[in-house]
Amino acid sequence: MYKFLLIISFIAFGVTAAAQKITPEEYIAMYKDAAIAEMQRVGIPASVTLAQGILETESGNSDLVKKSNNHFGIKCKSTWKGESVTHTDDAPDECFRKYPTALDSYKDHSDYLRNTPRYADLFKLAPGDYKGWAYGLRKAGYATNPKYPQIVISNIEKYNLQQYDQLGTVTDVAVNTKPIVTEQKAVVEMVEPVVSTSNIKPVTLPTSTTPVDLGNTKVNGLKVVFATKGMSLLAIATAANIDLQKLLDYNDLMNDGLLKADQLIYLERKAKQGNRDFYTVLQNERLYDAAQNNGVQLKMIAQYNGLNENDMIKKGTKIKLRPSSISN
């Protein structure tokens, strides 16, 4: 039943997308769970997968993706036995793979990189090393554009996609390092349901008080960790060798205790403004959540938008992240 509903949702999304142009934020909201699931299954950073998808599909609006569900511009190659379409890219009427759904494209993208020898060294990089992946893909011949790495990295940092690498890192599940054998059929089997991130614990804190190198992931240029519900703020502060009161101040929190929900916890003071003009709220959330998701001080984001710090924000609202941002 889940697979059936998932298929229906993607069909419905396709109809909507055909009628209007979707934004990068909408593309990210639609496919982030698929990218996270593929990172857990294979090891490609979710941020890289999403950034590639944004670039290759023009955020889901390209002619190729509309007629093929091909989100990564993968050409047929000699091993492809599935359906195909012709599309002009580097040369006229080139053969590109066609997929029944977008999820099949995400899965085949992972399998293609894992099974192709020239990309093998990329899987030796540290989890979440999106810069290494971006430059490595170009070096291995994934794209002909010499600026491909810079474009991918720019997409990742502009939309804070690196936060999803934390969600895709599961410390108690080893990434499969063996080649993945995928049998190509005229009708490709659906991928397994996207794994819920609600129980993932990407940050494992040590029991000792020895300072550790936390915060390799950055949002808005700031060191951050993804902490799960029930995690102790004192434990995070101790592990990162940060005074507890400073950690609370950095995250606009008043009291110590256990986290009541999964959230980003910053290990340094948040910035006064974001790295983009505005943020589109993808689901009803607190203004606090918008501030945390973008690495911006709560009092500043409230000031920019003429809101109270404890306000709830409706889905679809554009929240200014800079004083000169465009209006809603």
> Domain of 18: which CATH number?
1.10.530.10
Residues 9 and 113 grouped into a single domain: yes
pTM: 0.53
Q: Same structural domain for residues 65 and 126?
A: yes
pLDDT tens-digit profile of 104-145?
999 999 999 999 999 999 999 887 899 999 999 999 999 888
- Residue 182 is assigned to a structural domain of this protein: no
Q: What is the per-residue DSSP string for 177-204?
A: -SPPP----SSPPPPPPPPPSTT-----
The answer to whether residues 116 and 12 belong to one domain is yes
Residue 127 lies in a domain: yes
Domain membership of residue 256 as a residue range: 217-266
Same-domain pairing of 39 and 107? yes
Residues 108 and 60 in one domain: yes
* Counted domains in the chain: 3
Residue 237 shares a structural domain with residue 121: no
**C-alpha–C-alpha distance, residues 100 and 77, integer Å:** 18
In a domain? residue 212: no
User: Which tens digits make up the pLDDT trace of 147-184?
Assistant: 999 999 999 999 999 888 877 664 333 334 344 343 33
Examine the domain organization and report whether 104 and 222 are in the same domain.
no
Query: Residues 154, 38: one domain?
Result: yes
